[in-house]
């Protein structure tokens, strides 16, 4: 169960993207051109665990700082780029900064980060000036609207001078280093460095660097980009996310379809019932055929409506076969031509061949499948976890004990990056799975405590408000289904007894009201 439910409010509209600026910082060395990239801390809400170029959001004061060669409000982007570059790397790209000793730069950087001085005052007191020609415009990118906490970012190409000593101070950033674009792209291909589209495009352009004007033009004209929003999101090579607007439980508004492969491709969970959404996907699949990528089959992680809503349309237009587990096949809206079972491997030919191991992971749905890339350990997890929130376990289809066993199984493999059907990608797969297990244990304890708090047999409807007193009341109808799953687990374990109001010592006859009480020790 992940489809939208009557009475549950739709997710609120996404807030407008925040204005931001970023810097493609590069240097020319005897070994070749290098760029400076950062690894963002895992726990950051936006792009945690990803690699990126230095940058951040525009501060209101940035518009007040002068830039030679520009007037407000255009100047604020350069100011933000310069400020964020200094805060995150220690590189101060300002005229006159070369006269400052490294210890003085560190002191200024520390003062800026602690907000004991603002950037404008810092520049003025040291007689430093920003010049537009030092920050070459290199494109604009807007985060897709379904990504929470998104940005509308201007990018700039900036050359590092020999005196610049780039260094990351840990906090929001885990690490930073000079690296050749080709080496960085090799790590992206291996799945050890996840990249958002602007940073992937930047590295691809810089890997063929000849001169600044040519690079700036290429950086400003990415393919698969409409109105500055990327239509191609390939966080690691061979795994492309294609989000589809779908009626699903909030806070999600989309189902993440995935295109797996670099030659032969699988299409995972085309869930939208909207023909226009599926036609967008069809257009993308046809466009990548020019690169030698060809869809081979549709794979369903499970049968829920927000995962299979567009299957018929996709089959009708492209004639693709559908593959799924047998417990999904018996409820699929179209015939399933290949039954997938636990342990088998799907091989995809291409420039980078891929092998995807099929795991049968019931609990949320009886036919639920997870696919694991044998090289990077990346996992397409469907509704095993979500990028935000938790997963509803709805009996009789859902079974809490089995679901928890499958979470533990994935953690023990171990898996790497998790690609869920709803919400952002999760770089720290084992950490998220452990977080889910701990949360489920905490919620189970809340349910048991709620049942015991009445001191007498209690109905389900009375348990939910106490067990879910940390969430809004409109969530309780969904929470009730999870509570049923938890209580079924507790009954099976002998920790809770199911009874009736008048006959606590005999089994519950069909149609009679159910009451629950902690089992006697």
- pLDDT, tens only, 191-249: 999 999 999 999 999 999 999 999 999 999 999 999 999 999 999 999 999 999 988 76
Give CA separation, 322 vs 66, 306, 312, in Å. Answer: 59, 16, 10
Q: What are phi and psi of 33, to 5 degrees?
A: -70, 140
Q: Output the CATH code of domain 18-229.
A: 3.90.79.10
pLDDT above 60: residue 4: no
| H/E run at residue 20 | strand 18-29
* Between 48 and 261, residue with greater pLDDT: 261
pLDDT confidence of residue 408:
97
pLDDT confidence of residue 178:
96
Domain extent listing, the chain: 18-229, 238-427, 441-518
* Between 162 and 366, residue with greater pLDDT: 366
| Mean pLDDT of the chain, nearest integer | 92
Closest CA to 254 of 277, 234, 231, 288: 277
| H/E run at residue 139 | strand 136-142
Stretch 247-265: mean pLDDT: 87
User: Is 441-518 in CATH node 1.10.10.10?
Assistant: yes
Closest CA to 240 of 257, 254, 225: 257
User: Which 3 state secondary structure label does DSSP give 268?
Assistant: strand
Lowest mean pLDDT of 15-19, 236-240, 326-330, name the range: 15-19
What's the pLDDT band for 269 if we cut at 50, 70, 90? very high
| H/E run at residue 109 | helix 102-113
Question: Measured between alpha carbons, how far is 112 from 136 in angstroms, rounded to an integer?
Answer: 24
pTM of this structure: 0.92
Contact in structure between 351 and 292 (CB atoms under 8 Å): yes
| H/E run at residue 40 | strand 32-40
Write the CB contacts of 464 (distance below 8 Å, at least 6 apart in sequence): 476, 479, 480, 483
Lowest mean pLDDT of 278-287, 411-420, 464-473, name the range: 464-473
Contact in structure between 40 and 50 (CB atoms under 8 Å): yes
Contact in structure between 430 and 411 (CB atoms under 8 Å): yes
Packing angle, helices 476-492 and 460-467, rounded to 10: 110
Map tokens 């805060």 to a residue: 87
Q: Which DSSP category does 261 fall into?
A: -
Closest CA to 90 of 106, 111, 104: 106
Q: What are phi and psi of 156, to 5 degrees?
A: -135, 145
Map tokens 């779908």 to a residue: 246
Q: Tell me whether the CATH fold assigned to 238-427 matches the one assigned to 441-518.
A: no
pLDDT confidence of residue 520:
80
What's the pLDDT band for 1 if we cut at 50, 70, 90? very low
Stretch 15-34: mean pLDDT: 93
Instruction: Tell me which of 3.40.50.1820, 3.60.15.10, 2.40.30.10, 3.40.50.300 is the CATH number of domain 238-427.
Output: 3.60.15.10
Exposed e or buried b per residue across 127-162, where buried means at least 16 C-beta atoms within 10 angstroms of its C-beta:
ebbbebebbbbbbbbbbbbbbbebbbbbbbbbebee
Share of the chain above pLDDT 70, in %: 94
Structure tokens at 285: 């699949």
């Amino acid at each position: 169960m992940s489809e939208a439910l009557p009475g549950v409010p739709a997710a609120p509209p996404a807030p407008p993207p925040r204005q931001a600026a970023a810097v493609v910082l590069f240097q020319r060395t005897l070994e070749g051109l290098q760029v400076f990239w950062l690894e963002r801390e895992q726990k950051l809400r936006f792009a945690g665990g990803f690699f990126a170029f230095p940058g951040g959001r525009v501060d209101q004061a940035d518009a007040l700082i002068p830039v030679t060669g520009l007037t407000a409000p255009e100047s604020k982007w350069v100011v933000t780029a310069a400020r964020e570059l200094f805060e995150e790397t220690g590189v101060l790209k300002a005229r006159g900064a070369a006269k400052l000793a490294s210890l003085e730069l560190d002191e200024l950087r520390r003062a800026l980060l602690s907000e004991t001085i603002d950037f404008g005052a810092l520049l003025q007191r040291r007689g430093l000036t920003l010049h537009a020609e030092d920050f070459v415009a290199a494109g604009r990118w807007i985060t897709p609207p379904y990504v929470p906490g998104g940005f509308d970012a201007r990018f700039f190409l900036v050359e590092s001078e020999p005196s610049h000593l780039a260094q990351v101070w840990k906090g929001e950033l885990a690490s930073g280093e000079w690296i050749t674009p080709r080496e960085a792209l090799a790590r992206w291909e291996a799945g050890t460095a996840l990249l958002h589209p602007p940073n992937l495009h930047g590295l691809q352009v810089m890997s063929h660097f000849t001169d600044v004007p040519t690079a700036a033009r290429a950086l400003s004209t990415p393919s698969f980009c409409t109105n500055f929003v990327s239509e191609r999101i390939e966080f690691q090579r061979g795994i492309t996310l294609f989000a589809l607007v779908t009626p699903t439980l909030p806070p999600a508004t989309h189902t993440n379809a995935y295109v797996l492969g670099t030659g032969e491709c699988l299409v995972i969970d085309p869930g939208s019932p909207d023909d226009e959404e599926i036609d967008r996907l069809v257009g993308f699949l046809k466009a990548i055929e020019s690169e030698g990528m060809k869809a081979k089959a549709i794979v369903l992680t499970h049968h829920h409506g927000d995962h299979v809503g567009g299957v018929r349309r996709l089959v009708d237009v492209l004639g693709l076969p559908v593959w799924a587990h047998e417990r999904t096949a018996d409820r699929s809206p179209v015939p399933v031509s290949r039954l997938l079972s636990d342990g088998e491997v799907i091989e995809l030919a291409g420039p980078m061949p891929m092998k995807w191991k099929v795991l049968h992971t019931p609990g949320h749905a009886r036919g639920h499948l997870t696919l694991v890339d044998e090289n990077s350990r990346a996992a397409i997890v469907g509704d095993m976890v979500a990028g935000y929130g938790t997963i509803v376990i709805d009996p009789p289809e859902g079974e809490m004990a089995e679901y928890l066993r499958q979470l533990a199984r994935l953690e023990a493999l171990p898996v790497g990056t998790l690609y869920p059907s709803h919400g952002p990608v999760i770089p720290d797969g084992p950490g998220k799975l452990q977080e889910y297990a701990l949360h489920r244990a905490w919620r189970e304890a809340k349910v048991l405590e709620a049942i015991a708090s009445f001191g007498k047999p209690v109905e389900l409807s009375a348990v939910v408000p106490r067990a879910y007193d940390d969430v809004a009341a409109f969530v309780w109808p969904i929470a009730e289904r999870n509570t049923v799953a938890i209580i079924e687990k507790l009954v099976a374990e002998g920790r809770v007894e199911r009874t009736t109001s008048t006959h606590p010592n005999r089994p519950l006859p069909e149609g009679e009201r159910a009451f629950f009480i902690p089992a006697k020790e």
